Amino acid sequence: MKKLFALLITILTLIGIVHASGIQMDYNDGIYHFVLNGDKIKKRMQFVASPSLITNKTAHDNAKSVFTINTGFFDPKNQKTISYIVNGSQIVEDPLFNENLMGNPVLRQNLQKILNRTEFRILDCDSKLKFEIAQHNSSVDFLCSVKESAQGGPQLLPNLRLEEEFFIVKDEEGNVIRESASVLHRVPRTLIGIKNLPKGEQEAHIFIVTNKHPMDIFEARDLCKSYNLDSAMAFDGGSSTSLNYKDISVVSTQDSGDTGRALKSFLIIKN
């Protein structure tokens, strides 16, 4: 009886630790699913960027983070961002300073679509923090400001925005003639969404879709829809998809023993 009681106390303690951390995890068929809940977790979340490209594990270790994933798009040739990143209410990565982006005639012609891609925000609304997924140029509510954000795309829910965010281009007959970020192919994915709960509470849902269960962007949308998320978006995926959490390390590069692709920006959760 004493052993049973001790085991019960241990189980209850572990459950308490999981809930106190604000991070819950499930793994099924090659997909990691994380739920971030509670007001405290919002204060521990940050979007950070590195001057030079580094692996997710390096970012995780440098920040002494408990949870780290990849976020925005970047140019591996000049190591500059293609996505806006905000940290501590300051823009720390601005794609307007990426000369490869600005100098490419095709991209420059569609620059407004690229600059207005979807981002995940942590808003400070009169000292109350709130999650939001919106296009970069969209305004925030009165008394709110963007405290942290990372841009990626495309938006998945409530509507899929492939053409609007220049992830696909179609000809006059409706045929796809250009594709970005492998949206039409099955690859690993990093996804994030929001579920609005009663009394104004929110959950952030993160999916790390690994090589064991790659998805195209329509399957990624349907995955988010199956969890009844109110809004959802993708971050950079494919070989960029990365996760470090406790003893879990996920990289999507194929080489055995590879430490992962060098990346530009990250979502970290501090202790």
Tell me what pLDDT residue 259 has. Answer: 82
What ranges do the domains of the chain cover?
A: 23-251+261-270
At residue 5, does pLDDT exceed 60? Answer: no
What is the structure's pLDDT at 220?
98
Cα Rg of the chain, angstroms: 19
Q: How many other C-beta atoms lie within 10 A of the C-beta of residue 90? A: 9
pLDDT at residue 12, rounded to an integer: 39
Average per-residue pLDDT for the chain: 92
Which band of pLDDT confidence, cut at 50, 70 and 90, is reported for residue 72? very high
For residue 226, count CB atoms less than 10 angstroms from its CB and return exposed for 0-12, middle for 13-18, buried for 19 or more.
exposed
Distance CA 181, CA 166 (A): 10
- Residues 114-170: tens digit of each pLDDT: 999 999 999 999 999 999 999 999 999 999 999 999 999 999 999 999 999 999 999
Q: From the centroid of its chain, how far is CA 226?
A: 18
Side chain identity at residue 105, one-letter code: P
Residue predicted with more confidence, 259 or 179: 179
Q: How far apart are CA 267 and CA 92, in angstroms?
A: 14
Whether residue 1 is predicted with pLDDT greater than 70 in this model: the reply is no
Phi, psi of 154 (to 5 degrees): -85, 165
pLDDT at 152: 98
Q: What is the pLDDT of residue 120?
A: 99
| Residues 169, 80, 207, 119, CA torsion sign | negative
Closest CA to 28 of 200, 199, 207: 207
Q: Which residues contact 198 (CB under 8 A, 6 or more apart)?
A: none
Q: CA angle 202-206-211, nearest 5°?
A: 165
pTM of the complete model beyond 0.85: yes
Helix ranges restricted to H, the chain: 2-21, 39-44, 56-63, 99-103, 105-109, 111-115, 217-226
